[in-house]
Amino acid sequence: MHRVQLDQFEGPLDLLLFFIRRDEIDVHDIPIARIADEYLEAVRVLEHVDLDAAADFIYTAALLIQIKARMLMPRPELDDEGEPIDPRQELVERLIEYVRYKEAAGNLEGRFEARHRLRTRGQAADQRDELAPPVEVTYRATIFDLVAALGAAVERAAQQSETVRHEVARESFAIDVQRAWVLSRVQGGGASFGALVARRSKPFVIVTFLAVLDLAQRQAVRIVFGLDPEDFAVEPVAGVTSVDDAADEPSFSAAA
């Protein structure tokens, strides 16, 4: 319960700001004792829940207690020029700076949303594609791109060095079996090919694909292309629940 509430705060400064705004406190004259106690209470709740997330809050709580203690000292500390130092000063400055960035963040959010109500041209609507299909995806390079590329190379190398040649059991599928299977799967109103073969082995995908083509040719199913260029839907044709395979062709199969 409380955790959900504290999760609403971006950090310790954000929580502190909440108390200040709630009580309409003058940020330049924070009643530290009261705020420190309230803050501590809020953090105590947090501590029960998630120590990791609490660390930053606990640090600030300690800072508040320290300021409170300094405020209680009978004689104020003096700076180089003999002026009394307000122990709250540094915290107030940080808080003010934080408030500014917080507002800036809100501002950016508004801009981002306004900007994204406008759509730029889609990537595919380009004559360049028709003239020369893109060979490689290209990037505008930054140092981070360089680092990411290095990461990718490392990942590939790690995979290669880790590769244990698993003896995969030989699987084989017969096209007529897959035809029946596809038909049974699409009877309810069709399915995308991607969904039909999701997480299946390569031979399964190949034979199922051949089975779908075969069924489409026999007009037992319809193949429908939609918005996804990498997938298509397989829809049943009313009344067809099986294909008569009494005729010619020998059973077609593929193996891993």
Burial of 12 (0-12, 13-18, 19+ CB in 10 A): buried
What is the closest distance, in whole angstroms, from the C-beta atom of residue 152 to another protein in the complex?
6
Task: Please tell me the distance from the alpha carbon of residue 208 to that of residue 183, in angstroms, as a whole number.
Answer: 11
Give whichever of 122 and 188 is closer to another protein, judged by the CB atom.
Answer: 122
Using CB under 8 A as the binding rule, the residues of this chain from 209 to 238 that contact another protein are 225-229
Q: Binding residue for another protein (CB under 8 A) from 137, 169, 198, 255?
A: 137
Do 249 and 179 meet the contact criterion of CB atoms below 8 Å apart? no
DSSP H or E run through 131: helix 127-131
What is the closest distance, in whole angstroms, from the C-beta atom of residue 53 to another protein in the complex?
9
Task: Please tell me the distance from the alpha carbon of residue 181 to that of residue 244, in angstroms, as a whole number.
Answer: 14
- Of 29-37, 170-178, 204-212, 234-242, the segment contacting another protein by CB under 8 A is 29-37
Using CB under 8 A as the binding rule, the residues of this chain from 9 to 28 that contact another protein are 10-14, 18, 20-23, 26-27
Helix (H, G, I), strand (E, B) or coil at 227: coil
- Is 118 an interacting residue with respect to another protein (CB under 8 A)? yes
Using CB under 8 A as the binding rule, the residues of this chain from 40 to 59 that contact another protein are 41-42, 56
The angle, 0 to 180 degrees and rounded to 10, between the axes of the packed helices 51-72 and 32-49 is 160
What is the closest distance, in whole angstroms, from the C-beta atom of residue 136 to another protein in the complex?
4
Q: Binding residue for another protein (CB under 8 A) from 69, 158, 195, 213?
A: 158
Q: Binding residue for another protein (CB under 8 A) from 51, 108, 195, 213?
A: 108
What is the closest distance, in whole angstroms, from the C-beta atom of residue 197 to another protein in the complex?
22
Using CB under 8 A as the binding rule, the residues of this chain from 172 to 191 that contact another protein are none
Which one-letter DSSP state was computed for residue 85?
A: P
Residue 54 makes CB contacts below 8 A (sequence gap 6+) with 43, 46, 47
- Is 117 an interacting residue with respect to another protein (CB under 8 A)? yes
Q: How would you classify residue 118: left for phi > 0, otherwise alpha for psi between -120 and 50, otherwise beta?
A: beta
